[in-house]
Each structure stands twice: as structure tokens, then as C-alpha cells.
Amino acid sequence: MIVFDNVTKRYPGATTAVDGLSLVAPKGKLTVFVGPSGCGKTTSLRMINRLITPTSGSILLDGEPTDRMDVALLRRRIGYVIQHAGLFPHRTVVQNVATTARLNGVPKAKALKEAHELLERVGLTQSFADRYPYQLSGGQQQRVGVARALASNPQFMLMDEPFSAVDPVVRGQLQDEFLRLQREIGKTIIMVTHDIDEALKLGDQVAVLRTGGKLAQVASPKVLLARPADGFVADFVGRDRGYRFLSFAALDGSLALAAEPTVALGASPEEARGAALDRWVLVADAARQPLGWVDADALREPIREGDLNLSGTLAPEGSTLRHVLDAALSSPSGRGVVVGPDGGLLGTARLPEIVAAIEDARAGAAA
């Protein structure tokens, strides 16, 4: 657990970067600092490992004030991931990863062995081990940076805009990979980002800071979207926060699924029209995995792959109402397709039923 207890940072000239910050980053959870430029996000982060010294107040790691710790030992207890990874250019990937473990006194052979294992854990094969940073893409460098931060098995991790230097597609992949990794390792993490979508996706709780370093609200993403504390938070989260809220509303038993008839590839036009609830019929394989929609009214020959309309997305069981709403809006039939863990068809949902489930979720969040 990381605790900020009335922490303030003032610079000469009466500039206040952080003003009376008090919050708790729970043990084993990821807390995200977000806010406009100049709100003290990075300053707050760097005060934890004393790269910046607070003017007043206390920061505690599992109840121990950081200002009473040896600075070098404090920093070795904390994994640190920054933009552009900050790798040593003259060291190989595996040597970079082993660095923090070596600083903590781990024998070289053991540190290198564990570094190889960490590469696999962050999604890099052993073929990367002997490369140098300049031979890696930006996303690969960020994975190495995360592995290096984990090499000393720290209780705490600080992440300063870790995924901002890569393109949107790679950024999404890194976020998904990091969520998977955090579910496995359960570190106490504080992360800084300027991207509210990233904060909502990754954070167990999100701390919104105002300009001048004042805390506006700290809450789970779901609560932040459903009940912003004031106009500033509502504006910062964005006008589409109602749609974002659906990412935290579970696709569960509150949404009744209807049985959806299916036909197979090769089905005749007569079979397709006989199965269709309207002009659209769902085509599935022998395992009942959906392949796409077909306009039964337009068929003149047995169904071929080229006849499939693939614009409909699939909502996996256990996902969110945002997924199933997107599936319905993307589908030419207007019916969102829900599939099980094996990809098999569970049923479909129309917009009226989805809207009713959304209303139930909103009522629950407001309670």
C-alpha cells in the first residue's frame, strides 16, 4: 500500500505543483494519476521514490515513511518504467533486464536466468535476448522496460507514461498484455497517463488531479464515469462517458438472449429463407461458431463464403454491455451475437433488450 498524507510540493517563486494530496493506493492494485498538463501527476509519482523531495506531508510504503529510508535502498524496492523504456544502449536485452536484480545483489548467473524467464513473461521470445535496444521496435523496448522493472521482484511499481511513445495499435496490445501480467503478479502500482481512456482501461482506481496539484476525485473507473464529483471531473472524463461506462457494465443474466437460427455454408436459398427471422440469417460452422450474416432475400445460389457479410462483431460471454451494443450496431441484422468461451453461439440480443440491460446497470451504479 502506498499512502499520500497531505503531501505538498512548492517550488521557489510560490509555484505549487502538488497541493495537500491525500490518497491511498491499495495493495496489489493499479492506481492511475490523470489530469491536465501542470496538475502534478509526474511530480507526485517522483516524490514516491524521492527523485523529488516533498515540501511537506508524508508518503508511506506499507506504513513506513519514505523520508526515513535510505534513498538507494528505497529505489531498489520500487520498479520504475518510463517513456521510451530508458534502456542501456550498450547492453543486450537480457543484460538490461538483469540490471536491477544485479543491483540488489543477485548473482550474475541467477539474474540472467531470471531475466530470460521474464522476457517470456512479457511476451518476448528468447530470440530477442541477445539483441541490442536499437534493434527493437518501440513496443518491444517498452516490454523490456517492464521486464527490467520486475527483475528485482519489487513490491511496488511506478509507471510514467509507459505506453505513450508507441502507435495506437501497439499501445492497445501493450495495455492488454500488461493487464494480463498484472492479474498474475498483483503488484502495487501507481501509473501516470494523460490519456483518460488508458486510465479507465487499466486502473483499479483513477485519481483525477486539477491544475495546481489538487485532488478532484479518486474512484473506480465505473464510479468515476457514473458519478463524477463535479463539473471539472465530468468534463475531463469526456462527453461520451455514458458510453465508456458500458465497458464496466457486465454482460450477465440481466440480458436475455434469444435463440438464433443458423444455416451452414452450402445451404440453399430456400433453406436460408426458411431459417431467417427476417431477411438476414446467421451462417455457422459445424461447431456452431458464427461465420457471418447472409441476406437471404438476395440469394440465388447455395451460400458461399463470398456471400457472407462480416460487418457484425461478436460479444464474448462474460464481456461487457459495450461489447454487445457494438455487436448489435455493427450487425446488418441489428442483432448482437453472443458467443461462449469456445466461440459457439449462445444467442442474440436486439437493441431494445440491450437498452433495458443498460438501464438496469445505470440504476445499479447510481444506487
Indicate which CATH number applies to the domain containing 284: 3.10.580.10
Q: Is residue 249, in this structure, part of any structural domain at all?
A: no
- For residues 109-141, one letter each, b for 16 or more C-beta atoms within 10 angstroms of the residue's C-beta and e for the rest, the string is eebbebbbebbebbbbeeebbeeebeebebbbb
Give the start-end residues of each E strand in the chain. Answer: 2-11, 15-25, 30-34, 56-61, 64-65, 78-81, 156-160, 188-192, 205-210, 214-219, 262-263, 280-284, 290-295, 314-316, 335-339, 345-350
Judge whether 78 and 51 are in contact, CB under 8 Å. Answer: no
Strand 78-81 and strand 156-160: the pairing is parallel
Domain tally for the chain? 2
Q: Is residue 256, in this structure, part of any structural domain at all?
A: no
CA 21 from chain centre, in angstroms, equals 25
Same domain (yes/no): 163, 311: no
Q: Is residue 154, in this structure, part of any structural domain at all?
A: yes
Report DSSP state, residue 255.
S
Tell me the one-letter amino acid at 198.
Answer: E
Same domain (yes/no): 211, 323: no
Report DSSP state, residue 69.
S
Task: State which of 238, 272, 294 marks the end of a domain.
Answer: 238
Q: Is residue 342, in this structure, part of any structural domain at all?
A: yes
Q: How far apart are CA 350 and CA 359, in angstroms?
A: 15
Same domain (yes/no): 319, 208: no
Q: Is residue 257, in this structure, part of any structural domain at all?
A: no
Task: State which of 222, 238, 254 marks the end of a domain.
Answer: 238
Same domain (yes/no): 19, 84: yes
Same domain (yes/no): 287, 330: yes
Same domain (yes/no): 195, 276: no
Q: Is residue 301, in this structure, part of any structural domain at all?
A: yes
Which range of residues forms the domain containing residue 161?
2-238
Residues of the chain with pLDDT below 70 are: 84-85, 165, 239, 365-367
Same domain (yes/no): 92, 179: yes
Note if the pTM is more than 0.85.
no
Q: How far apart are CA 103 and CA 113, in angstroms?
A: 15
Judge whether 288 and 345 are in contact, CB under 8 Å. Answer: yes
Same domain (yes/no): 118, 174: yes
Same domain (yes/no): 193, 272: no
Q: Is residue 335, in this structure, part of any structural domain at all?
A: yes
Same domain (yes/no): 205, 347: no
pLDDT for 152: 80
| Sheet containing 345-350: order of strands | 314-316, 335-339, 345-350
Please measure the distance between the N-terminal and C-terminal CA atoms of the chain and give it in whole angstroms. Answer: 29
